[in-house]
Amino acid sequence: MKTTHTKRAFKYRFYPTEAQAAELSRTFGCVRKVYNLALAARAEAWSLRQERVSYNATSAMLTAWKKTEELAYLNDVSSVPLQQALRHLQTAFTNFFAKRARYPHFKSRKSARRSAEYTTSAFRFRDGELTLAKMAEPLHIVWSRPLPKDAKPSTVTVSQDAAGRWFVSLLCEDPTVRLLPTTDRAVGIDAGLDHLLTLSTGEKIANPRHERHERRDRARLARAQRELSRKAKDSANRDRARRKVAKVHARIADRRRDHLHKITTRLVRENQTIVIEDLTVQNLLKNHTLARAISDAAWREFRSLLEYKAQWYGRTVITVDRWFPSSKLCSTCGTVRDAMPLHVRTWTCACGATHDRDVNAARNILAAGLAVSACGADVRPQRETSRTRRSVTKQEGPRATVGIPVY
């Protein structure tokens, strides 16, 4: 098996001392300040003079800001995280101009997650101990899993989440990531809510939100949110209540992420080709009846995990156009039904074939993806040329809510 020399981030929990926590909090504040100042300067230069400001220009601005009395406190923290903040801003603008992202926004002091990035000149990693710039002692890290042998981190990112937990992420090459042996297995996946995923093999993967511990955490979250709503604004009690809500949210998110990691790892290991639908989650969230259930399903995160793992291990992920009528198409004879209401979970085609709605959709998705892979066929249906721009074979009526059951 061939080694791909993949760079991989290893994330660990750590427990800072009071001095380390204070230093990191100062660093987070300075990173936010520099990012916002640079963003304001770039926005002003464009609005007044139609001038684009480069990273080098903002770096020169940072040097000037440090010399002013008002911003002299920027000298008290390591300069590397401040420079990295400017690089991140440059990346954000690059993505914006390439139409891959929205316009960069200012960082809020009340942001749920704070972070700072250190490069090799600003930390020392030796004998399993990590010491950051401006700190006398190494961080107390809980090594929940080993780093690759002889690992040399190129970047270290320190963060604190809304629940107050501290994390450190070390980016280093992982020689254990190897291309898997090729296989002829392929699978189509239909995303849903009643079942999180339905595979073309007929397997249905349960949605964790139906499990007992998930329902128990939902009840705790509702109770904690009610308590939070009763606290006076800007009070210590409100801050404690907010932290309690954040801890429940973190527990739910951690469990969801762990579940998705296990599913995506298994799918990538077992299949050479994986076919999914190109769902627009942002549009689906406009359905306020199902918005929370769709968010909990985390389809976007599932796709992200699936794609980078497939790239690591030499697998192929194919996306089928969201307008492909996977639910209405008979996987046996190819007949497309005129309508398929969401409450219909099982249906019988004129050819006599009886279909489970989600399994049938997954099989159609697989067939369409394999057609694209084999001959470059277009799985997008013919579109009407009227002003409505609506598809004549749109899958689920006025909204592209593929595989979403009615509750």
How big is the CA angle at 250 (ends 244 and 255), to the nearest 5 degrees? 135
Residue 396 designated active-site: no
Residue closest to 368 by CA, chosen among 405, 332, 318, 404:
318
Separation between Cα atoms, residue 19 and residue 46, nearest integer Å? 41
Question: What is the rounded distance in angstroms from the CA atom of residue 105 to the CA atom of residue 88?
Answer: 12
CB distance 338 to 346 below 8 Å? no
Is residue 356 part of the annotated active site? The answer reads no
**77 backbone dihedrals φ, ψ, rounded to 5°:** -115, 170
User: Which DSSP symbol is given to 339?
Assistant: -
Q: Can you read off the two tokens belonging to residue 290? A: 């199902």
Length of the chain, in residues: 407
In 337-384, DSSP assigns E strands to 346-348, 354-356
β-strand 273-277 against 186-191: which pairing, if any?
parallel
* Catalytic residue, candidates 23, 117, 174, 358: 358
What per-residue string of b and e applies to 48-61 under the rule 16 or more CB within 10 Å gives b?
eeeeebebebbeeb
DSSP character string of 188-220: EEEE-SSEEEEETTS-EEEPGGGSHHHHHHHHH
Give the number of other CB atoms < 10 A from CB of residue 143.
Answer: 11
Q: Quick check: helix, strand or coil at residue 287?
A: coil
Counting beta carbons within 10 angstroms of the beta carbon of residue 100, is it exposed (0 to 12), middle (13 to 18) or buried (19 or more)?
exposed
Q: Look at residues 188, 189, 194 and name the one whose alpha carbon lies nearest to residue 342.
A: 194
Residues facing residue 173 across a β-bridge:
7
| Set 129, 277, 296, 301: catalytic member | 277
CA distance 323 to 200: 19
Identity at 287, one-letter amino acid code? N
Which among 174, 190, 211, 356 is annotated as catalytic? 190
User: What are the structure tokens assigned to 353, written together?
Assistant: 């074939």
Q: Any idea which residue has 């004129």 for tokens?
A: 350
Is 203 annotated in the active site? no
| Residues carrying an active site annotation | 190, 277, 358
